[in-house]
A and B are shown apart, each in its own frame.
Chain A
Amino acid sequence: NAGVTQTPKFQVLKTGQSMTLQCAQDMNHEYMSWYRQDPGMGLRLIHYSVGAGITDQGEVPNGYNVSRSTTEDFPLRLLSAAPSQTSVYFCASRLAGGPSVDEQFFGPGTRLTVL
């Protein structure tokens, strides 16, 4: 299993540009989520999904869109990039169900800079 994969690893954008961060997992996990990590702030939840066709907002959703057309993929779209979106983005996934399968797994991250 590749686990959780993210592309690209690094990206530089200009203010106002749009782009999509890709996330895929091959573990058949129902739940997927996107976090951003900023210095001193820990990880903050942007959006999450509990299954194909179902998404919901997290703590900091503004400026981002998501969709979940398949179990495997959960792309994050920046509609019009702003310098405040400069951050490291992590995708994560886990199985739904009881506590015995409740571990969350992370991708390697995407480092985004918006100029």
Chain B
Amino acid sequence: GIQVEQSPPDLILQEGANSTLRCNFSDSVNNLQWFHQNPWGQLINLFYIPSGTKQNGRLSATTVATERYSLLYISSSQTTDSGVYFCAVRTGGSYIPTFGRGTSLIVHP
């Protein structure tokens, strides 16, 4: 099946810093989502972005499908951004997404 790799595995920032999280995938995809799992365990949709660029406030994401990667940008990070960020992809032949192992982000005040 498709392989999904996220980097870095861990990230520690000071409040106000910017960061870039990366998701590489091993095959063509027709679906890619970014999720944030907050410290209480809740999984929250951030972006549905199989290609192109989207922005939502301080967060933005870019997927370059032809090169098989996606980037999640967090600007002016806040302590509430802490948690784990997951990338999930789905190929045309599968019904259910495959998840990467996530990037654990800690933002210190």
Contact = CB atoms under 8 A, between A and B. Distances in A.
Interface of A: 31, 33, 35, 40-45, 48, 50, 56, 58, 88, 90, 99, 102-106, 108-109, 111
Interface residues of B, number: 21
Given A41-B101, A108-B42, A103 B96 contact: no
A42 B31 contact: no
A102 B95 contact: no
B90 interface: yes
Nearest to B101: A42
Give the interface SS of chain A, mostly helix, strand, loop or mixed. Answer: strand
30 contacts: A31-B95, A31-B96, A40-B101, A41-B101, A42-B99, A42-B100, A42-B101, A42-B102, A43-B88, A43-B99, A45-B96, A48-B95, A48-B96, A50-B95, A56-B95, A58-B96, A90-B43, A102-B30, A102-B50, A102-B90, A103-B33, A104-B45, A104-B88, A104-B97, A106-B35, A108-B42, A109-B41, A109-B42, A109-B43, A111-B41
Contact of B86 (A43, A50, A88, A109): A43
Interface string B43-64: 1010010100000000000000
B32 to A, nearest CB: 10
A111 to B, nearest CB: 8
Nearest to B51: A99
B31 A102 contact: yes
Nearest to A101: B48
A31 B30 CA distance: 17
B41 A88 contact: yes
Contacts of A42: 86, 99-102
B99 A105 contact: no
Given A42-B86, A42-B102, 17 more contacts: A31-B95, A31-B96, A33-B96, A42-B99, A42-B100, A42-B101, A48-B95, A48-B96, A99-B50, A103-B45, A103-B48, A106-B43, A108-B41, A108-B42, A109-B41, A109-B42, A109-B43
